[in-house]
Amino acid sequence: MIHIPRPHSTQVDWDEWQAPLLQFCQASGLAVSAYDIAGQRQVGPFLSSRTARFLGGSTLWREDGPGTEVERQLVARQAEPDAGGDVEATFHGMRVCSLPLTRVGQRYGVLVFGWCFSDFSSPMACEKLAALVGVSGQALWNEVRLESPLTPARLATYRELLRTLAGSLDRQRDTIDELNRVSRTRDLFLATVSHEMRTPLSALSMRVDLLLKTMPDLPPALVTALQAMRVHVRQEASMVEDLIDAARTLTGTMSIEKVPVSLGRIVRDAVSTIEVNAHDKRIAFTVVPADFGDHIQIEADPRRLQQVLWNLILNAIKFTPEGGAIGLVISRDRHGDGAAAGIKIRVDDSGQGIDAKDLPHVFGAFTLQTQANATGLGLGLYIARRIVELHGGTITVDSPGVGLGTSFTIHLPPAAPVVAVA
């Protein structure tokens, strides 16, 4: 390959053409180059045949060489609005072809290939070509006479192979462009959701709370309606937050800020805010050990880990019938040899359970249970798993079957010497 300085292109990553064009050159024996639509060679020329490698030491493909001029003329013809797909030229008996490169329907470059004799040459023809590019005519003839001419049928086959290769890369690039466009649209959507939905929901929730607190003489029916409205507003706000968290998870932009914290504090905060939900359904809710893990120190993001526990406990309450039972058990996680390996938090319920065929899909996005799930988007467990993974842990699910309850288990790695749980 001849290395020719080329200007930096901000439109196309020409480096991605290096490997496929080199492979095409080696397989076909044709010389091949890639130009941008302005006529600057960006890749090549790649040379494989004996004749092409010999001519590579001449002035043929230099920046001001006659071969480069021929190739640029082909590029200029391809850049014309009414240009056909196949534009060719001949140079002292050598056949030179071109194929346009398109991106989103616009031509951005041209592949130039060939530089093979279409029939048997002669010593006199080689002398003329050699004199033009500054090499020995006899030496050029010695190379040319050892190679068979390139038949039209074989050239047509190579052309179609190169067309398929170019089309594949261009379609791949168009797909990447579309994905980038979708990504930008998603980011805009998230920004809109954050501003256009969070703000009015917060304002509406605040006004409902204000009415309930400052107007004690409201009719009972209106109080009931306002309380229901408050519940619905909070549900909508929760779904908006789930959408934003899910998008951050998909894009890898969700992050946590780990600090030394008592596990008991996280568990107490999570339980205290949703204990009333269990009480309303007369569900027996227990925590083991009784100190909620106050003496266990971990490194975690308290808000995010509390979010995981909220989700697991609220799900357990949602899918457990009245009079059922839910337990949260904290214990030391151990290796097979009994050595401490971190902390295990298990949430058990006596609820509807999960069918064995559905267990592998529990942590998927937008996965909804078929019962008792009138609200929500099915994103909670998907987000919970990502939060636990960001803590370096894992979360698993187990259920004996439908109607037999469910267990979710969080495994967290030790961040410091783990205190034994009584």
pLDDT in tens, 291-300: 999 889 999 9
Write b or e for each residue in 133-165: b if 16 or more Cβ atoms lie within 10 A of its Cβ, otherwise e.
bebebeebbebbeebeebeeeebeebbeebeeb
* CA dihedral over 69, 75, 79, 85, signed as positive or negative: positive
Tell whether the model's pLDDT for residue 108 goes beyond 50.
Answer: yes
- 220-251 vs 152-192: helix crossing angle, rounded to 10: 150
pLDDT in tens, 353-362: 999 998 988 9
Tell whether the model's pLDDT for residue 273 goes beyond 60.
Answer: yes
Give the whole-angstrom CA distance, residue 230 versus residue 222: 12
Give the whole-angstrom CA distance, residue 212 versus residue 228: 12
Judgement on whether residues 243 and 145 belong to the same structural domain of the protein:
no
Q: Which pLDDT score is estimated for 63?
A: 93
Judgement on whether residues 242 and 367 belong to the same structural domain of the protein:
no
Tell whether the model's pLDDT for residue 245 goes beyond 50.
Answer: yes
Give the whole-angstrom CA distance, residue 418 versus residue 247: 34
Cross-strand pairs, 78? none
Judgement on whether residues 224 and 362 belong to the same structural domain of the protein:
no
Judgement on whether residues 139 and 209 belong to the same structural domain of the protein:
no
pLDDT in tens, 303-327: 899 999 998 999 999 999 999 999 9
Full domain range(s) for residue 220? 180-251
| Residue of higher predicted confidence among 50 and 86 | 50
Residue 2 lies in a domain: no
Write b or e for each residue in 230-246: b if 16 or more Cβ atoms lie within 10 A of its Cβ, otherwise e.
beebeeebbbbbbbbbb
Judgement on whether residues 314 and 350 belong to the same structural domain of the protein:
yes
Judgement on whether residues 279 and 189 belong to the same structural domain of the protein:
no
Tokens 């949260």, residue located: 328
**Mean pLDDT taken over the chain:** 84
Judgement on whether residues 209 and 297 belong to the same structural domain of the protein:
no
Judgement on whether residues 23 and 108 belong to the same structural domain of the protein:
yes
Answer yes or no: are the C-beta atoms of 245 and 379 closer than 8 Å: yes
Q: How many structural domains compose the chain?
A: 3
Phi and psi (nearest 5°) for 333? -80, 140
Judgement on whether residues 402 and 264 belong to the same structural domain of the protein:
yes
Mean pLDDT of the 277-294 span: 91
Q: Which pLDDT score is estimated for 194?
A: 64
| Residue of higher predicted confidence among 257 and 252 | 257
Give the whole-angstrom CA distance, residue 391 versus residue 401: 30
Q: Is the pTM of this model over 0.85?
A: no
pLDDT in tens, 44-73: 999 989 999 999 999 999 999 999 999 999
Judgement on whether residues 404 and 326 belong to the same structural domain of the protein:
yes
List the CATH number of the domain containing 87. 3.30.450
| Residue of higher predicted confidence among 301 and 178 | 301
Pairing outcome for strands 325-334 and 284-288: parallel
Tell whether the model's pLDDT for residue 286 goes beyond 80.
Answer: yes
Tell whether the model's pLDDT for residue 191 goes beyond 60.
Answer: yes
pLDDT in tens, 351-403: 999 999 989 889 887 666 555 444 556 788 988 999 999 999 999 999 998 88
Judgement on whether residues 387 and 271 belong to the same structural domain of the protein:
yes
List the CATH number of the domain containing 392. 3.30.565.10
Mean pLDDT of the 194-205 span: 76
Degrees to nearest 5, angle at CA 127 with 122 and 132:
130
Mean pLDDT of the 188-195 span: 67
